[in-house]
Amino acid sequence: MPKQNKIDAVAKITADLKAADIYYFVDYRGLTFAEATDLRTRLRKVDTDLKVVKNTLGKIAAANAGVEGLDELLAGPTAIAYVHGDPAKTAKTIQDFIKEKKKPAIIRGGKLQRSILSAQQVEALAALPGREVLIAQLVGAVASPLQGLANVLSGPIRGLVVVLAQVQDKQNAA
């Protein structure tokens, strides 16, 4: 018969897995307590929670939450980074931490909505610019053709104004 604290832990992990559509699996092996605290602090700034889970409880919680394919990611010391904000910012924060502290790659993979991500895919996600930059690039891409169209449409009117100004100058000179 399972103990009540384990039942509560599974219920909490299940609720966390259901609440977040995006999460990353992090191997915290080799991190000191101070480094783990530093990583947690950095992740909180980008609206992400980092929680250490016991693998067997994590597997049970994943089954309860209806999430498949997490068994291989739940091996060894595991912490789950539950993303509530921008997934690219979170991945970049973890990657920056790894580079700064000169730690081995600690991201095992992740889940982005319905897709299971490998460590390489999470690294590629970290290389993407932030959400605000992507939105600005999209707006720029949409606005550029519109600006060109406005210039083309205003060209004949601009030409007419120039011709009328030249006619007026000739009349004033004569």
Answer whether 106's CB lies under 8 Å from 126's CB: no
Same domain, 39 and 110: yes
pLDDT band at 19 (very low <50, low <70, confident <90, very high): confident
Residue 45 is predicted with a pLDDT of 92
Residue 105 is predicted with a pLDDT of 63
Same domain, 93 and 13: yes
What is the largest distance, in Å, between two alpha-carbon atoms of the chain?
A: 108
Query: Domain limits at 102?
Result: 4-128
Same domain, 115 and 78: yes
Residue 1 scores a pLDDT above 70: no
Same domain, 137 and 123: no
Higher per-residue pLDDT: 57 or 148: 57
Same domain, 159 and 117: no
* Percent of the chain scoring above 70 in pLDDT: 98
- In sequence order, the β-bridge partners of residue 110 are 24, 117
Count of C-beta atoms within a 10 Å radius of residue 61: 25
- In sequence order, the β-bridge partners of residue 139 are none
From residue 171, how far is each of 23, 62, 164, 166, 174 by CA, in Å?
75, 85, 11, 9, 5
This prediction has a pTM of 0.69
pLDDT band at 30 (very low <50, low <70, confident <90, very high): confident
Same domain, 153 and 113: no
CA 91 from centroid of its chain's CA atoms: 6
Residue 143 is predicted with a pLDDT of 72
- Lookup result for tokens 């209806």: 66
**In terms of Cα–Cα distance, which of 43, 134, 19, 48 is closest to 94?**
43
Same domain, 69 and 81: yes
